Amino acid sequence: MLELQGLTKHFGGVKALNELDLTVEEGGIIGLIGPNGSGKSTAINLICGVYGETAGTVHFRGVLMNGKPPHQRLRAGIARTFQNIRLFPELTVWQNLWVAQNSPQDISRQRFLPRWFGTTRQARKEIADLLELADLAHKGDELASNLAFGEQRRLEFARAAAARPLLLLLDEPAAGMSRQEIDDLGQRIRRLRDSGVTILLVEHMMELVMGVTEQIAVLNFGHRIAFGTPGEVQSDRAVQEAYLGTDATESGPAGGSA
């Protein structure tokens, strides 16, 4: 579904991402992990078109995405969330979801005026369902800026779903969450996958990554150093060194990674 080939990004002299090859199959949950500065966020930003790549290609469902602006990539089916919550604080919770309904289905099946004035019954019902799912049903008329932190996270997640993505890029969705909220998030992610969305999860919280993903790619210094199932990745020597550092004497087991 998503195919990255030789994807490279340099910022001046800094090589943020080096020839990343990654194939994401439809219907799965893929983890993308690595220490800080290893290029995870750069990869996400390249996939959704925030940056232009230095070299390499991004194919989505067989279509070359290079050079396409983010709004076209969203309409093609790539949505994302952000490491730091990004909502539209001056808009209400309801409006935040409403303006995200920009999938080709949403645009083509609604007439101009109902779409522009938000009166399409089907679209309103979908927003109501998303609010329900995000436990925000009674908060629809609040300004997004007045929500609590956890509510804002849930709204961001719901907004990503409102775009009807085929591929959802989650950029550290668990940051700042409590244990309970992380368990909750894991369930939301699985439920979304079960509804047919492919998920690429960038995350530091290893319990979440190991718990929900089926395959994991590990980046370090802009290079992919490992790819495999959670179990394989955990026992990979290069991964252990990336996270724990190389033992000066090269002796002793580097167990208990992550």
Partner 1 sequence: MDGYVITVLSNIGMISFIALSAYLLLVTGEISFGQQAYFGLGAYAAGAATAMFGLPIWAGILIGVGAAALVAMVVGALTLRLGGLYFSISTLAFAEMVRLILLTAEVQVEVDGEMVGPDGANGFHDIRWMFERDISLAEFMLIIYCLLALVLIVLALVERSRLGSVFRMLGSDDLLAEMQGINTVRYRILAAGMAGGIAGIGGSLYAHFTTYVEPQFFNVMLGVHALAYGLIGGLGTAFGPLIGVAIDIGFLEAVRFIQGYRMIVFGGLVAVLLIFMPRGILDEDRVHRLKGWFSRRRHAGTRGN
- Binding of partner 1 at residue 85 (CB under 8 A)? no
On whether the CB atoms of residues 103 and 88 are closer than 8 A, the answer is no
On whether the CB atoms of residues 11 and 197 are closer than 8 A, the answer is no
- Binding of partner 1 at residue 48 (CB under 8 A)? yes
Among 67, 89, 231, 245, binds partner 1 (CB under 8 A): 89
Residue 141 Cβ vs partner 1, minimum distance, rounded to whole Å: 7
CA distance 236 to 241: 9
Nearer to partner 1, 145 or 229 (CB): 145
Residue 46 Cβ vs partner 1, minimum distance, rounded to whole Å: 13
Strands in 78-80's sheet, in edge-to-edge order, are 78-80, 167-171, 198-202, 29-33, 215-220, 223-228
Residue 48 Cβ vs partner 1, minimum distance, rounded to whole Å: 6
Backbone angles phi, psi at 173, to 5 degrees: -70, -20
Query: For the window 142-181, what string marks contact with partner 1 as x by the rule CB under 8 A?
Result: -x-x-------------x---x------------------
Stretch that binds partner 1, among 111-119, 218-226, 229-237, 244-252 (CB under 8 A): 111-119
DSSP per residue over 136-187, as a string? Answer: -GGGTTSBGGGS-HHHHHHHHHHHHHHT--SEEEEESTTTT--HHHHHHHHH
Nearer to partner 1, 126 or 236 (CB): 126
Cα angle: 187, vertex 189, 194; to 5 degrees: 95
Among 9, 80, 139, 154, binds partner 1 (CB under 8 A): 80
Residues that bind partner 1 (CB under 8 A): 48, 50, 69-71, 74-75, 79-80, 82, 86, 88-92, 95, 98-100, 102-103, 115-118, 141, 143, 145, 159, 163
